[in-house]
Amino acid sequence: MKLGVSMYSYVTEVQAGRMDIVSFIHEAKRIGADGVELLDFFYKDVESDRAAAMSALAKTGLPVGVFSVAQNFAKPTSEEREVHLKKILFGVDEAVKYGAKVVRVFAGDVPADASFGFEEARGWIIDGLVAGADYAQSKGIRLALENHGKLAGRSDQVAGIIADVRARCGHDALGANPDTGNFQLVGQQSHDAIREVASLAYMVHFKDFAQGEGEGRVYRSLDGTPFIGTVIGEGDVDLDACVQALRSAGFDGWVNLEYEGDLPDCKKAVEASLNNARRYLDSVGIA
């Protein structure tokens, strides 16, 4: 098992113009990450950004363990859903170019007008992920469905979607990306939820949240409870129990740090999080 870092951990640095893909890769090397997770979200010019990333990866010797896309199949028209399917196809092609074996995907999220819910969107999600998984299978890539958002964020929903997609496809190209923080937003204790999906996991997002409000990003759960991102080990998530659940399930993929806090010195927060995350993994002998 290897400990990587998602570029999303530095989203505030990128948005402030202080970091790009190349400087992210070099920062990941400096703090001791085993590899990086790249996202379509950060591309400005695909061809030039990819070439620059490839050069930085060669210089640092870091691999891309995961390439992530952020698509949403909770869309009422087939034309909209086709646009989002193409994001998965793009992600798979990028993973092949980088030598990554996993692409992180989403299901969908609640529409702004709350005009439909999970049951209405579930069929659209299944159809989209079947098409995406079939393409991934043809390229030797696995898709990892994250418990993201409030539409399909519970472990039972994630497991159910994976089961139905696998039944339709006849293969296991779709698995899970349990996010240790996001379960809190749908009323689940993360370690309990991870026990339900650990055997399906193809990657993990290692994140910590705490109840409360700050001056920056605030995430609200289904019941309105506010949460903020913290340095790994400084929040409310029982990360010891999370890694124990992963170990018990025999998980052997990428554990990628995803810091979502708003401390003024983001780089120090991510470095501290990576060091703390490694200690959690070391404690159960899986780092």
Q: What pLDDT does residue 284 have?
A: 73
**Helix (H, G, I), strand (E, B), or coil: what is residue 76?**
coil
- Are 116 and 73 contacting, i.e. CB atoms less than 8 angstroms apart? no
Q: What pLDDT does residue 125 have?
A: 96
Total tally of structural domains belonging to the chain: 1
Q: What pLDDT does residue 283 have?
A: 82
How confident is the prediction along the chain (287 residues), in pLDDT tens digits per residue? 899 999 999 999 999 999 999 999 999 999 999 999 999 999 999 999 999 999 999 999 999 999 999 999 999 999 999 999 999 999 999 999 999 999 999 999 878 887 888 889 999 999 999 999 999 999 999 999 999 988 899 999 999 999 999 999 999 999 999 999 999 999 999 999 999 999 999 999 999 999 998 878 999 999 999 999 999 999 999 999 999 999 999 999 999 999 999 988 999 999 999 999 999 999 876 65
Range of the domain at 84: 2-283
User: Following DSSP, what letter does each residue of 250-266 receive, concatenated?
Assistant: T--SEEEE------S-H
Q: What pLDDT does residue 169 have?
A: 98
Q: What pLDDT does residue 286 have?
A: 60
- List strand residue ranges (DSSP E) for the chain, in order: 2-6, 35-39, 64-68, 102-105, 142-146, 174-177, 203-206, 209-211, 219-220, 226-229, 254-257
Token pair 């991102």: residue:
229
Q: What pLDDT does residue 233 have?
A: 97
